[in-house]
Amino acid sequence: MGADNIYDEEMKLAVNNLLALTEKGTVMWECDEYLPASFMLRDELEDTSTDHITHMVTCSCQVPGRCFELEIDEHIEFDETESGLLGAKLSIFDEDENLLSQAEASMEEDTEDEYGFVPLCDAIFRRSGEWLNPDFFKYMDERSFYPQKGVTKKHREHPLCRLMERLMNERRIEDFHKMILDRPFRELLLSE
Q: What is the pLDDT of residues 108-118, one digit of tens each?
A: 887 888 889 99
pLDDT of 147: 60
pLDDT of 165: 81
Query: What is the C-alpha to C-alpha distance for residues 72 and 39, in angstroms, rounded to an integer?
Result: 17
Beta 99-108 vs 84-93: how paired, if at all?
antiparallel
Number of domains within the chain: 1
Query: What is the C-alpha to C-alpha distance for residues 1 and 56, in angstroms, rounded to an integer?
Result: 35
Is residue 24 scored above 90 in pLDDT? yes
Q: Which amino acid is at 143?
A: R
Query: Which region among 68-82, 126-140, 152-166 has the lowest average model confidence (pLDDT)?
Result: 126-140
154 vs 70, higher pLDDT: 70
pLDDT of 120: 94
In angstroms and rounded to an integer, the radius of gyration of the C-alpha atoms of the chain is 17
Query: What is the C-alpha to C-alpha distance for residues 159 and 89, in angstroms, rounded to an integer?
Result: 31
Neighbours of 80 (CB within 10 A): 7
Of 52, 51, 91, residue with least CA distance to 71: 91
Give the helix/strand (H/E) hosting 137. Answer: helix 134-142
Is residue 46 scored above 70 in pLDDT? no
Asked if residue 97 lies in contact with residue 65, where contact means CB atoms within 8 angstroms, the answer is no
Of the ranges 76-80, 127-131, 169-173, 175-179, the best mean pLDDT one: 175-179
Measure the CA angle with vertex 124, ends 72 and 85; round to 5°: 35
pLDDT of 121: 93
What does the chain come to in residues?
192
pLDDT of 1: 46
Quick one: average pLDDT of 54-77?
A: 91
pLDDT of 137: 61
- Under the banding of pLDDT at 50, 70 and 90, the label for residue 7 is low
Query: What is the C-alpha to C-alpha distance for residues 66 and 98, in angstroms, rounded to an integer?
Result: 10
Mean pLDDT over each residue of the chain, to the nearest integer: 83
pLDDT of 142: 60
Query: Which region among 11-15, 85-89, 102-106, 112-116 has the lowest average model confidence (pLDDT)?
Result: 112-116
Query: What is the C-alpha to C-alpha distance for residues 189 and 192, in angstroms, rounded to an integer?
Result: 5
- Under the banding of pLDDT at 50, 70 and 90, the label for residue 96 is very high
Is residue 174 scored above 50 in pLDDT? yes
Give the helix/strand (H/E) hosting 8. Answer: helix 3-24
Domain that holds residue 21: 3-190
185 vs 78, higher pLDDT: 185
